[in-house]
């Protein structure tokens, strides 16, 4: 297989499997995308930010090399939003908030405690609740 400055050349064999990794939008570049480029035509601005959650039709995904070398046409401004190239790790606060939410969801709610009315107080057909699921009385009772 031939070598290029970007690495080994890949053959153009069609595949039925699509890679889940988004690739750079630049022609002949197969590196993984790390940033998304969008244009604000009304402001003559090119915005380069973190990789978008979803691929959009009028956005361009760029690899790290192409995002670093990006230039805009004369008269245009390039806005570079902070991109984090490292893996996102949950913080201690995130984990504590998640644990508290799980504890709250698992805690049984007592009827008639002071404070806000529960769904069972509002809906007399509701017998019990577990998370988002409700147990309802039979209509004949």
Q: What is the pLDDT, as a whole number, of residue 77?
A: 93
The model's pTM is 0.47
* pLDDT tens profile 109-128: 665 555 555 554 566 667 77
Expressed in angstroms, the distance from the first to the final Cα of the chain is 77
- Those residues with Cβ within 8 angstroms of residue 98's Cβ, 6 or more apart along the chain or in another chain: 90
Least confident of 2-6, 51-55, 97-101: 2-6
* pLDDT tens profile 31-88: 999 999 999 988 899 999 998 888 888 899 999 999 999 998 899 999 998 765 555 5
User: Tokens 């984990």 appear where?
Assistant: 95
Q: What is the pLDDT, as a whole number, of residue 117?
A: 53
């Amino acid at each position: 297989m031939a070598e290029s400055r970007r690495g080994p050349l890949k053959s153009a064999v069609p595949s039925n499997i699509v890679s889940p990794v988004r690739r750079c939008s630049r022609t002949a570049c197969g590196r993984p995308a790390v940033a998304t480029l969008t244009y604000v035509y009304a402001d003559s601005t090119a915005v380069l930010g973190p990789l978008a959650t979803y691929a959009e039709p009028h956005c361009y995904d760029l690899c790290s090399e192409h995002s670093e070398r990006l230039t805009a046409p004369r008269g245009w401004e390039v806005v570079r939003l902070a991109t984090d190239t490292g893996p996102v790790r949950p913080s201690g606060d995130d984990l504590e908030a998640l644990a508290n939410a799980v504890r709250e969801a698992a805690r049984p709610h007592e009827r008639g405690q002071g404070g806000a009315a529960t769904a069972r107080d509002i809906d007399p057909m509701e017998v019990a609740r577990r998370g988002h699921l409700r147990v309802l009385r039979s209509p004949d009772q």
